[in-house]
């Protein structure tokens, strides 16, 4: 924590969302294959989880595999899904023991049946945990999330179970893949890039944005603390006028 925040009541974001960017460039700078970068990125995820739990964050969303990632080369897609299988088989029970609830958001239908079954088992095993809710965005795209919500609402309207003239923002949010999850308080992107890249487009309406000039495999507890310090300094008004001090 920064010295000027010591002794003050510091706001901790309930929900931190992270675009984990830079695995490939991290590996390339070291003359390593991209898979090495993805493996190092998985180690950064473990550090991030520890930091989130230590600092009292309730929800952590990680952009692990975007809908656009399917267009990468077949070998890299196979490497990414292979890593996912490995961690589902070898790390989920550790997270369960730590009290982490795991949820997946995105178009999971694009994964094969065996992998989808493992995703379901991970969710079912950890469903009762409450120390931290970890959302992994897989085959996820913000525009796709909005489109599928519109489709679901359109079907409900066609079936007569909802009046289209009465649809509210809350109704719409309830049909997103993140239904029941509070919107992120802060969205972080690593690697120095300054864009959302189709991540949580609806949900990010009032999120604080933090862009870090560090490749994801180098992300550590200190970087997480930096994010929380930056968040604590920002005044969140949600469009309202500031209240004059007495």
pLDDT (0 to 100) of residue 31: 98
Measured distance CA(185)–CA(11) in Å, rounded: 11
pLDDT at 3 over 60: no
pLDDT (0 to 100) of residue 240: 66
**67 among annotated binding-site residues:** yes
Measured distance CA(21)–CA(128) in Å, rounded: 31
**21 among annotated binding-site residues:** yes
**195 among annotated binding-site residues:** yes
Dihedral sign for Cα 159, 160, 165, 169, please: negative
Q: Which of 19, 57, 23, 44 is nearest to 209 (CA)?
A: 19
Helices assigned H by DSSP within 169-235: 169-173, 221-233
pLDDT tens digits, residue range 83-92? 999 999 999 9
**68 among annotated binding-site residues:** yes
High-pLDDT (> 90) share of the chain, % = 90
Contact 41, 209 (CB under 8 A): no
Mean pLDDT of 71-97: 95
- Domain contains 21: yes
Helices assigned H by DSSP within 134-198: 142-158, 169-173
Q: CATH number, domain at 77?
A: 3.40.1180.10
Of the listed ranges 7-16, 105-114, 121-130, 197-206, the least confidently predicted one is: 7-16
Measured distance CA(63)–CA(202) in Å, rounded: 15
Measured distance CA(91)–CA(35) in Å, rounded: 19
**Are β-strands 59-66 and 15-19 bridged in parallel, bridged antiparallel, or unpaired?**
parallel
> Distance between alpha carbon 162 and the CA centroid of its chain, in Å?
30
High-pLDDT (> 70) share of the chain, % = 92
- Give me the chain's average pLDDT, please: 93
**180 among annotated binding-site residues:** no
97 is written with which tokens? 């023991």
- Domain contains 124: yes
pLDDT (0 to 100) of residue 25: 97
* Residues that are catalytic: 21, 69
- Domain count within the chain: 1
pLDDT at 35 over 50: yes
- Domain contains 151: no
pTM of the model: 0.92
- Domain contains 243: no
**177 among annotated binding-site residues:** no
- Domain contains 34: yes
- Domain contains 246: no
- The confidence band for 233, taking pLDDT boundaries of 50, 70 and 90, is very high
Measured distance CA(40)–CA(25) in Å, rounded: 12
Domain that holds residue 84: 11-141+186-233
**70 among annotated binding-site residues:** yes
Helix, strand, coil shares of the chain, percent, nearest 5, are 50, 15, 35
Contact 79, 34 (CB under 8 A): yes
CB atoms near residue 51 (< 10 Å): 21
CB atoms near residue 184 (< 10 Å): 27
CB atoms near residue 20 (< 10 Å): 23
- The confidence band for 2, taking pLDDT boundaries of 50, 70 and 90, is low
Measured distance CA(244)–CA(246) in Å, rounded: 6
- Domain contains 110: yes
- The confidence band for 244, taking pLDDT boundaries of 50, 70 and 90, is very low
Mean pLDDT of 102-117: 97
pLDDT tens digits, residue range 138-156? 999 999 999 999 999 999 9
**197 among annotated binding-site residues:** yes
- Domain contains 6: no
**76 among annotated binding-site residues:** no
What phi and psi, each to the nearest 5 degrees, are found at residue 60? -135, 120
Contact 15, 206 (CB under 8 A): no
pLDDT (0 to 100) of residue 236: 75
């Amino acid at each position: 924590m920064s010295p000027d925040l010591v002794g003050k009541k510091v706001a901790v974001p309930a929900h931190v969302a992270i675009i984990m960017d830079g695995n490939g460039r991290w590996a390339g700078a070291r003359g390593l294959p991209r898979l090495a970068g993805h493996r190092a990125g998985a180690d950064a995820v473990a550090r991030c989880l520890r930091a989130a739990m230590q600092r009292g964050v309730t929800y952590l969303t990680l952009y692990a595999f975007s809908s656009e990632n399917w267009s990468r080369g077949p070998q890299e897609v196979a490497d990414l899904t292979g890593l996912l299988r490995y961690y589902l088989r070898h790390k989920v029970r550790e997270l369960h023991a730590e009290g982490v609830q795991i949820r997946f958001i995105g178009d999971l239908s694009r994964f094969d049946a065996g992998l989808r079954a493992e995703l379901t088992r991970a969710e079912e095993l950890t469903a009762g945990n409450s120390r931290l809710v970890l959302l992994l965005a897989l085959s996820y795209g913000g525009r796709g999330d909005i489109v599928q919500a519109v489709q679901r609402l359109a079907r409900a309207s066609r079936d007569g179970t909802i009046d289209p003239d009465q649809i509210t923002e809350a109704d719409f949010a309830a049909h997103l893949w993140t239904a029941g999850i509070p919107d992120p308080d802060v969205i972080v992107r690593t690697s120095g890039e300054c864009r959302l890249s189709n991540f949580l487009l609806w949900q990010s309406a009032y999120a604080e944005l933090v862009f870090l000039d560090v490749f994801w495999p180098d992300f550590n507890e200190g970087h997480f603390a930096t994010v929380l310090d930056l968040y604590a300094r920002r005044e969140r008004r949600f469009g309202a006028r500031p209240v004059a001090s007495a």
